[in-house]
Amino acid sequence: MHGRSARVSVRGTTSKGLATRGRIVEAAAELMLVGGVRGTTLDEIGTAARVGRSQMYHYFDGKDALVRAVIDRQTDAVIDNQGEDFAELTTWEAWGRWRDRMVRGADEGGCVGGCPLGSLGTEVAERDATARELVAAGFTRWEQGFRDGIATMRDRGLVSADADPDALATAVMVALQGGLLLAQVHRDPRPLAVGLDTAIAALRRFAVTPEDGGIS
């Protein structure tokens, strides 16, 4: 339901070439998460990935192309990090487990780094239209998991027919992103917990009880 899709053309189709390219993207992602896009140089990335400039330019036309590959990588990473419940957010128990996983992950990571995709979006939105569109597509793909789960709950009678999956999914994403940012700034997972609890409570206002003719 939330599978990966190719969004950036890939050079180097041999297994060795793909491994080298992957190492470059991984190194760039780690450095940019800490130092930002502008604060990370190609030389630093090359050193971390153990490749020279010529090798780097074999796989990427320049830094902008590498940033776009990092966006793809980080989109896959953040969605993979949602856990098994993300694919089936169709019960209140699944929403609770997903919420706990997000808060626990932030806490265990010391609330460092915030959201990798959100951080990239902030940096590239006003300087690279293609990169901004890739980040937007990543968020749309991420939000689709919330939307699908809420729509299924509505179809199954767990939430009322007037629940709007689009609006509620966006509310969850807003709470998640705002919570991650505040958790990062304060080095405290509580803002994330509060944000997610508030968003899920908004969803629960549409819950259908047995007395309403639905399933609790």
Give residue 114's region: left, alpha or beta (phi > 0; psi -120 to 50).
left
Residues 6+ apart with CB under 8 A from 198: 175
Q: Write out the two tokens for 38.
A: 């502008």
Would you identify the CATH topology of the domain 76-212?
Tetracycline Repressor; domain 2 (1.10.357)
User: Which sequence spans correspond to the domains of the chain?
Assistant: 15-60, 76-212
26-71 pLDDT, tens digit per residue, is: 999 999 988 889 899 999 999 999 999 888 999 999 999 999 999 9
Give residue 90's region: left, alpha or beta (phi > 0; psi -120 to 50).
alpha
Query: Among 10-14, 52-56, 205-209, which is the least confidently predicted range?
Result: 10-14
Percent of the chain with pLDDT over 70: 91
162-180 pLDDT, tens digit per residue, is: 999 999 999 999 999 999 9
Q: Write out the two tokens for 137.
A: 């597509």
Which CATH code is given to the segment(s) 15-60? 1.10.10.60
- Within 10 Å of residue 163's Cβ, how many Cβ atoms? 18
Mean pLDDT, the chain, rounded, equals 90
77-119 pLDDT, tens digit per residue, is: 999 999 999 999 999 999 999 999 999 999 999 999 889 999 9
Angle between helices 116-124 and 15-35 (to 10 degrees): 80
Q: Write out the two tokens for 158.
A: 């767990």
Give residue 203's region: left, alpha or beta (phi > 0; psi -120 to 50).
alpha
Which pLDDT band holds residue 11 (cuts at 50, 70, 90)? Answer: low
Which pLDDT band holds residue 186 (cuts at 50, 70, 90)? Answer: very high
Question: Is residue 12 over pLDDT 60?
Answer: no
What pLDDT is attached to residue 85?
A: 93
Question: Is residue 6 over pLDDT 70?
Answer: no
What pLDDT is attached to residue 1?
A: 44
